[in-house]
Amino acid sequence: MKKIFIILLLISGFSSVTYSQFAYSFKNSKYNYSINIPKSYDIKKYPSENDPDTVVAINSDGSEFSITAGYDKVYKGVNGSQLPPNSFMPALKYKYKQVELIENDYTDLGGEPCMFMKVKYKNEDEEGIVSQFVLVRSERLFIIRVKAVKDLYEKFEAELTGYIFTFQFMESAQKEFYKNEMYSFIINFPPGWQFDRNEFPVQANSPKGSSMYIETIKSTEYADMTAFDLDTDMLLEALNTKFSNITIAAKKKLNIDGNPVLYVKYRWVQAQTGKGDSYYIIHYYLIKKTVLFVFQGMVRDKDTKDEEKLIQESVESFQFTK
């Protein structure tokens, strides 16, 4: 049973942490935001490369992921939770012809209230689905849009979900302090790393492409355990179900905030890229009562020395508040 829990954790955790490794980190200084975009997509910027209001990323089947920003005084004093979906229907009808609203909700993106809407469209050429997150900040309107033909939309949306939620306003990213009320802990992420302080599990991304991810899993299986009881061979076996060419590079027992912590450093050769890129995957495991905490870092081989030190300092700042 313990093995099953660990496998589930590692697979779900790495599906998130690897977003930053395969992504282009786009930063828009004009509108002061950043977002990760899949590197494999064809990226175009309008009206110009150096002064973009819109960024469009197109994958090999023609599906589109775009971010559009603009100033409009009509949005003064308005936030995303006050936006009605009908006000965006005329623009969608102009672009996609026959349009029908099929879903509408309100959420949070980049620490700001956000309106979500999904429409289906039909024109002479195709039928498809468009979904968009719309938020407002300081009289600036931001629209993050996903568009695909009907048969491809579901897969495309699932692929992009992790990228959409890397959207972040850059000035807030400098505040590295993170506090989690659910699990009663605080931690300082490395200075300048971007993260959403309203999300958990939480991921912080380095300007160099490294990442740090914190996740928990709760089970009575951990009630009588400490991190020192975890089997490193089992951990490696779990990772091998998801990644090939991965080995243990180092392991040791630590103490952080008065708690036993198991440190395991893995080396992963990303052979599937065709370039043989290699990374170090760094895990710190901590168990408190029935909760397993996993701090996961991923750094490129060439950036290991400096980036791993930042991850180590961040984990060492971890403290329980209760």
**Residue 271's pLDDT band (cuts 50, 70, 90):** low
- Final residue belonging to a domain, choices 125, 151, 170: 170
188 and 116 in one domain?
A: no
Whole-model pTM above 0.85? no
Calpha distance 73→127 (Å, rounded): 35
Write the DSSP symbol of residue 62: S
140 and 61 in one domain?
A: yes
User: What is the rounded average pLDDT for all residues in the chain?
Assistant: 86
**Is 211 contained in some domain?**
yes
212 and 138 in one domain?
A: no
292 and 189 in one domain?
A: yes
166 and 54 in one domain?
A: yes
Token reading at 131: 């979904």
- Is the pLDDT at 49 greater than 60? The verdict is yes
Write the DSSP symbol of residue 194: B
Using one digit for the tens of pLDDT, what is the confidence trace for 129-180?
999 999 998 889 999 999 999 999 999 998 888 889 888 886 544 457 888 8
- Final residue belonging to a domain, choices 111, 141, 170: 170
Q: What are the CA-CA distances from residue 206 to residues 194, 196, 211 (Å)?
A: 7, 13, 6
Is the separation of the CB atoms in 92 and 101 below 8 Å?
no
Sheet holding 202-205, edge to edge: 202-205, 211-218, 291-300, 277-288, 259-270, 246-256
Given this model, what pLDDT does residue 260 score?
95
215 and 159 in one domain?
A: no
- Final residue belonging to a domain, choices 154, 170, 186: 170
**Is 16 contained in some domain?**
no
Using one digit for the tens of pLDDT, what is the confidence trace for 205-251?
888 888 999 999 899 999 999 999 999 998 888 888 777 788 999 99
**Element spanning 58, H or E:** strand 54-58
Token reading at 293: 């905490």
70 and 136 in one domain?
A: yes
Calpha distance 284→161 (Å, rounded): 26
**Is 6 contained in some domain?**
no
Highest mean pLDDT: which range of 39-53, 56-70, 158-172: 56-70
Number of domains, the chain: 2
111 and 128 in one domain?
A: yes
Q: What are the CA-CA distances from residue 147 to residues 80, 160, 178, 259, 319 (Å)?
A: 21, 11, 34, 47, 42
Burial readout 169-196 (b: 16 or more C-beta within 10 A, e: otherwise): bbebbeebebebeeeebebbbbeebbbb
Contacts with 66 (C-beta within 8 Å, 6 or more apart), sequence order:
54, 55, 56, 57, 143, 144, 145, 147
Q: What are the CA-CA distances from residue 251 to residues 98, 176, 234, 236, 314 (Å)?
A: 59, 27, 14, 12, 18
- Amino acid (1-letter code) at residue 13: G
254 and 161 in one domain?
A: no
64 and 84 in one domain?
A: yes
Question: What CATH number does the domain containing 131 carry?
Answer: 3.40.1000.10
**Is 287 contained in some domain?**
yes
CA-CA-CA-CA dihedral for 248, 301, 204, 138, to nearest 10? -170
264 and 152 in one domain?
A: no
Positions of E strands within 170-245: 177-180, 185-188, 202-205, 211-218
**Which range of residues forms the domain containing residue 112?**
27-170
**Residue 125's pLDDT band (cuts 50, 70, 90):** confident
315 and 243 in one domain?
A: yes
Calpha distance 68→92 (Å, rounded): 14
Closest CA to 97 of 118, 126, 68, 63: 126
